[in-house]
């Protein structure tokens, strides 16, 4: 049966389990919600001064594990656009939006939905719908991405 399931889905499921495990360690160990935008945002806007080191340690882990894993996988390509205007616009939207909403895919999506948080569920519905419409508009109608 396993060979009828696309490999990508299995890697997705396995990687997803690791992501959830990371969130579980951060919650049960440190009593903190694993939200990437909150951890990063608190570092750059000064709101996270009291636990700067914990934020940096977490981010170091996120950055460094792929450094170790990268040589073990072949053909890793992120297929990112090289359109600088798109990259800057997208980055600004993600930065402002996630801080305004107080969460992103990890905080609202993974940590929120798993505790059946209404805010997490509503946020996830809105960012997925907005993302879907954006891809339809900019890929199929405008042909930019």
Name residues contacting other proteins, limited to 118-137 (CB under 8 A): 118-119, 122-124, 126-136
Q: Judged by CB under 8 A, which of 53, 74, 142, 143 binds other proteins?
A: 53
Smallest separation, CB 132 to other proteins (Å):
5
CB 128, min distance to other proteins, A: 7
Q: For residue 37, give the H/E element and its range.
A: helix 36-44
Q: Are 81 and 145 in contact (CB under 8 A)?
A: yes
Distance CA 98, CA 15 (A): 23
Among 21, 50, 142, 143, binds other proteins (CB under 8 A): 21
Residue 116 — left, alpha, or beta (φ > 0 → left; ψ -120 to 50 → alpha)?
left
Among 2, 3, 74, 140, binds other proteins (CB under 8 A): 140
Residue 54 sits in the site that holds other proteins (CB under 8 A)? yes
Q: What sign does the CA torsion over 56, 87, 18, 75 have?
A: negative
């Amino acid at each position: 049966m396993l060979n009828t399931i696309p490999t990508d889905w299995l890697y997705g499921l396995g990687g997803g389990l690791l992501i959830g495990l990371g969130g579980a360690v951060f919650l049960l160990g440190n009593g903190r919600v694993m939200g990437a935008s909150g951890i990063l945002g608190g570092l750059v806007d000064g709101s996270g001064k009291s636990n700067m080191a914990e934020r940096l340690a977490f981010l170091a882990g996120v950055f460094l594990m792929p450094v170790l894993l990268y040589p073990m996988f072949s053909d890793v390509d992120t297929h990112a656009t090289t359109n600088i205007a798109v990259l800057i616009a997208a980055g600004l939207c993600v930065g402002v939006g996630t801080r305004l909403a107080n969460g992103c895919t990890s905080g609202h999506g993974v940590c929120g939905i798993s505790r059946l948080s209404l805010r997490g569920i509503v946020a996830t519905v809105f960012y997925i719908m907005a993302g879907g419409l954006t891809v339809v508009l900019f890929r199929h109608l405008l042909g930019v991405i």
